[in-house]
Amino acid sequence: MKKAAISLLTLTLCICMLLCTFADVALASASRPKVEWTYPVSLTALQSPHVILVNVDNLLDKKYKPSPLVKVKGIKRATSATVELEETTLNALKEMFEAAKATTSYTYYVTDSKGVEKEVTAEFEEGMVLYLKSGYRSYGTQATIYANYLDRNNGVDDGYVAKPGSSEHQSGFCADILNKKWAALDYMNQEFETEVEAIWMKENCASFGFILRYPKEKEDVTGISYEPWHFRYVGKEVAGYIMARGLTLEEFTTESQTALNDFLSRGGDIAQQMEYEFLTQNAPPESNILDVYGEDGDPEVSLSL
Ligand SMILES: [Zn+2]
């Protein structure tokens, strides 16, 4: 009987040692790569197709079409025409529209003509309602719009209508969004910026992965006039970074590409870094002992997420 107990103990110890070895292997594979990724946005987020830069210097191919491209249903639209969006973008847009609808009171600040800032609270009995005006636009459609505009404008391209391939709408990752008042009009202009819905979207869009793509003070960088209705999906991490710093996608692309080139020149390995990000992001949160003591004298433990 004693012998059996000793054998059982030995067996248990062996299993424990084996398990510890496996745990070490798992930990080793999640260990920090030798070349450190120092940019504040993860390399994984930068590798997403959603961060693609589309402008007059970075044209989309004639054949480019987002996939999966889906018909928009179930949200308010400012047009009777069919609107299509890339699927992830549409899901994020629905989330933003639902959050707006759940907003019954919104406080914001406006600066009057004398430069005095004042607080305004808007109430929405039935929630704030957003209207989708447009989404995906094919290369062919943009080419027709462009050609028609040139015809009307004596063949002069004054930059008012995007050249085919340079419109971000071909990506399927962006949307023009209005409120009820502007949805009823057949034009859009920059006065939309003073509407509470435009202010709310600018402040909250990043939480859903969107950026205000053509900001007011950055027209020289984007080459596009200020568009307070045009929102571009880039994913939550990139959107949070861009909106918090007031960047354009052009500036972000230059900055992140520089970081990537620096990483590669130091011998960094993209696949290894992405695997490390995957393992660390999916690891259970580390417990963190806070310098706060509960009533029982034990340190309060929190999970750092
Ligand atoms: Zn647009």
Q: How far is the CA of 45 from the centre of ligand 1 (A)?
A: 23
Q: Based on the number of CB atoms within 10 Å of its own CB, is 201 exposed (0-12), middle (13-18) or buried (19 or more)?
A: buried
How does pLDDT run across 101-128, given as a tens digit for each residue? 999 999 999 888 898 999 999 999 999 9
User: What range does the domain containing 238 cover?
Assistant: 43-261
Measured in angstroms, how far is the CA atom of residue 174 from the centroid of ligand 1? 7
Q: What is the mean pLDDT of residues 189-202?
A: 96
What is the domain count for the chain? 1
For all residues of the chain together, what is the average pLDDT?
Answer: 87
Backbone angles phi, psi at 27, to 5 degrees: -65, -40
Q: pLDDT tens digit string along 205-231?
A: 999 999 999 999 999 999 998 999 999
pTM of the model: 0.82
Structural domain includes residue 93: yes
As annotated, the active-site residues are 227
The answer to whether residue 25 sits within a structural domain is no
Q: Of 61 and 158, which is predicted with more confidence? A: 61
Give the C-alpha separation, 212 to 174, whole Å.
10
Model pLDDT, residue 285: 54
Does some domain include residue 180?
Answer: yes
For residue 63, is it within any domain?
yes
Kindly give the distance from the C-alpha atom of residue 175 to the centroid of ligand 1, in angstroms, as a whole number.
6
For residue 25, pLDDT over 60 is answered with no
Burial class of residue 212 (count of CB atoms within 10 Å of its CB; 0-12, 13-18, 19+): buried
CATH number of the domain where residue 136 is located: 3.30.1380.10
Domain membership of residue 107 (yes or no) is yes
Tell whether 101 is covered by a domain.
yes
Nearby residues of 127 by Cβ (< 8 Å), 6 or more positions away: 100, 101, 102, 103, 104
